[in-house]
Amino acid sequence: MRILIIWGESLAKPGGGTVHCLGLGGGLQACGHQVTVITPRYGKTTLRTGDLDVRAVRLPPRSLPSFLCFQLLSILCLPWWLWRHRPEAVYVRTCFFQAVMAL
């Protein structure tokens, strides 16, 4: 199954969100699914992704405007991501409107 994960937090940020994303994606991939993660990348941070297919959206250093920029880009690019990856399932973990758009 092709699964698209849209993650609202940077995977460079240590903590529970990163552990959750990598654990979820890695577990699904271990079960034989094709997993793609879309996440923000702020500034020159390094993403630790293991062997997951991660597409990072490059943004300026982390700030409220760059966070809002990711939200806006996600909304505008979601139809293209859905067409490009043709997922059979979409998992959205973010604060704003991507969940509504994914419906």
Domains (range + CATH), the chain: 2-102 (3.40.50.80)
pTM, full prediction: 0.77
Q: What percent of the chain has pLDDT over 70?
A: 89
Return the closest-CA partner of residue 64 out of 28, 40, 39.
Answer: 40
pLDDT, tens only, 13-24? 778 888 888 888
| Long-range own/partner contacts, residues 20-28 (CB < 8 A, 24 or more apart) | 20/93, 21/93, 22/48, 22/49, 22/50, 22/52, 24/91, 25/52, 26/50, 26/51, 26/52, 28/3
pLDDT, tens only, 82-94? 888 788 998 888 7
pLDDT band of 98, cuts 50, 70, 90: low
Stronger pLDDT, 2 or 65, i.e. the higher one: 2
